[in-house]
Structure 1
Amino acid sequence: MSERYDLYYWPGIQGRGEFPRLVLEAAEAPYRDMARLDEAAGGGVPAMMRVLETGIGHHIPFAPPFLVVGDRLVAQSAEISAYLGERLGLAPDTEADRLFARTIALTTADLVTDAHDTHHPIATSLYYADQKPEALRRAQEFRGERMPKFLGWYEWLLEMNDHGVLVGDRLTYADLGLFQVMEGLRYAFPRRMGAIEGRYPRVIALHDAVAQHPAVARYLASPRRLPFNEDGIFRHYPELDGE
């Protein structure tokens, strides 16, 4: 593990950057969280903006999160997680399972987008206060239709696999992604999750197993793990929650 990984994402929020960050932490990989570093040390938001403006070679990311490893640039949370997982021992062994792990990560990214759009259903450039009526309608559909559909799919995958993980026979980045989603949904929709999560005992068991993974547990207890807040993807607005 001689390579150093530079992860770029907005400071102050977990957001989409938390998915690859969990992979790095679970693998105990050497990495720098660039936008959280002091500007004097070559970090901060200005360092992130420089890569967004000039790229690495001819490769310019559209938006954070992105990862720089030497002269390589990888963007999009699911793609970064897959890249890291496959290099750091947090991916399945067979090609078929590796491809399906990517499928799971991309589906998880869809769920994250759905969760985000409950509070920004019209435009990300507008404040939540500017789209409250639409947000109420979107959140109702998300709670009633989308959450059970996604969680039911994860539960089914776990039921089909005797190893207690989503794919393969050991913990992978796909499982870390589901852990993060469960954490986010519990924060943003505590009433709804309290009402339905008992339907998904295998999902809960996997979440708890990830939380007890030694490296993950150390990370969760550290100041590196930022708390959820109302600037991130998962936001707790009580009026959007319900049983």
Structure 2
Amino acid sequence: MSAAPAAKRQKASSPDDVASTPYKLIYWPGLPGRGEHIRLAFEEAGVAYEDTALQEDAVQQVLAQISTSNLAIGSALNVPPLAPPVLEHGDLVISQTSNILMYLAPRLGLVPDASNGDADAIYRLNALALTALDGLSNEVHDSHHPICTSLYFKDQRAEAIRSSKLFVKERLPKFLGYFERVLRVQAERDEANKWLCGAQLTYADLVLFQCLDGTSYQFPRAVKQLRDGGAYQRLFALHDAVKQRPNIAAYLASERRQPYGEGIYRYYKELDVVPEEDPEEDAKA
């Protein structure tokens, strides 16, 4: 009984079918969120995609995917997603940002050419992307919602101030330092290597760009201080280089780019802190 679906999936994954099958990104409207990593991959590759966040029924489409009544959409082999982003591509429906990017990147030319003999590059890239998402997305979000995501900021303001101070003092330099070290290793291997995985931009660079960009929105003073300090020159050069790529620059200037606001990255004046300030004293304010 399982042979037919497997054969169908193999056929749908052939190069001709994949190239002609439209991509559909399902995500919440009005904020970049985790869906932004998927958008950047499509935009850099110049590949057409449907973005439900720009449609009138955006919320309804997300709710249809994550509803407890959703048992399967598309192929019977699919499992219902817990949360967006969700990618539909033919019969395939998958969720989780890193998982979607691992699926898309080889199809969009955002991994090193397999002819270089590195068949395991996708796993190295996934490790880099996951690290960026852990430290510069999940932890940044938790800085303004340290107790629970269901509570309003005002209900955890003191805790958020302390959490943010500790994040910019301890965690932010740790993650920036890690990626600076990765870039330094690449440059030592070959001075032409400007990206996380050699001389070619990959999806991991796009993920890191978006994470650093969002973190800069939430913590502008701290990021500026760290940038001006000069210890992370390669990292900020990567951010600037991604921002200046023709397709990305055009996208960032377009109305398709969702503004920061109520998503992962949120600006609160109280949390716009720098490491030398005392978290204990401000938490009492």
TM-score bucket of the superposed structures, by smaller chain: over 0.9
TM-score, normalization by structure 1: 0.94
Give SS of 2:144's match.
coil
**Residues 115-169 of structure 1 deviation map (CA, whole Å, 9 limit, x = unaligned):** 0000000111100100011111111111011100000011011111131000133
Query: What is the CA distance between 1:50 and its match in structure 2?
Result: 1.6
Query: What is the CA distance between 1:10 and its match in structure 2?
Result: 0.6
1:184 aligns with 2:198: no
Cα separation, 2, equivalents of 1:80 and 1:191: 33
Aligned to 2:38: 20
Aligned to 1:240: 271
Structure 1 runs (4+) greater than 4 angstroms displaced? none
Q: 2:119 aligns with which of 95, 98, 107?
A: 95
Q: 1:215 aligns with which of 241, 247, 250?
A: 247
Q: 1:202 aligns with which of 222, 234, 252?
A: 234
Aligned to 1:173: 203
Aligned-partner residue type, residue 247 of structure 2: A
Cα separation, 2, equivalents of 1:199 and 1:152: 8
Give SS of 2:20's match.
coil
Cα separation, 1, equivalents of 2:171 and 2:119: 30
Q: 1:6 aligns with which of 24, 41, 48?
A: 24
Aligned to 2:14: none
Structure 1 gaps, min length 5? none
1:157 aligns with 2:157: no
Q: 2:66 aligns with which of 20, 44, 52?
A: 52
Is this contact kept in 2: 1:52–1:62, CA < 8 A?
yes
Give SS of 2:24's match.
strand
Aligned to 2:82: 62
1:136 aligns with 2:150: no
TM-score, normalization by structure 2: 0.80
Aligned-partner residue type, residue 222 of structure 1: S
Query: What is the CA distance between 1:186 and its match in structure 2?
Result: 1.3
Q: 2:54 aligns with which of 26, 29, 36?
A: 36
Structure 2 gaps, min length 5? 1-18, 188-192, 275-285
Aligned to 1:75: 95
Cα separation, 2, equivalents of 1:140 and 1:47: 38
Is this contact kept in 2: 1:25–1:219, CA < 8 A?
yes
Give SS of 2:31's match.
coil
Cα separation, 2, equivalents of 1:237 and 1:202: 28
Cα separation, 2, equivalents of 1:191 and 1:169: 31
Is this contact kept in 2: 1:105–1:174, CA < 8 A?
yes
Cα separation, 2, equivalents of 1:35 and 1:208: 26
Is this contact kept in 2: 1:35–1:47, CA < 8 A?
no
- Figure out how many residues of one structure are paired with residues of the other and give that number: 238
Query: What is the CA distance between 1:182 and its match in structure 2?
Result: 1.6
Query: What is the CA distance between 1:207 and its match in structure 2?
Result: 0.8
Query: What is the CA distance between 1:114 and its match in structure 2?
Result: 0.2
Is this contact kept in 1: 2:133–2:211, CA < 8 A?
no
Larger Rg: 2
Is this contact kept in 1: 2:164–2:273, CA < 8 A?
no
Is this contact kept in 1: 2:30–2:53, CA < 8 A?
no
Cα separation, 1, equivalents of 2:139 and 2:166: 10
Using the aligned pairs only, state the percent identity: 45
Query: What is the CA distance between 1:226 and its match in structure 2?
Result: 1.5
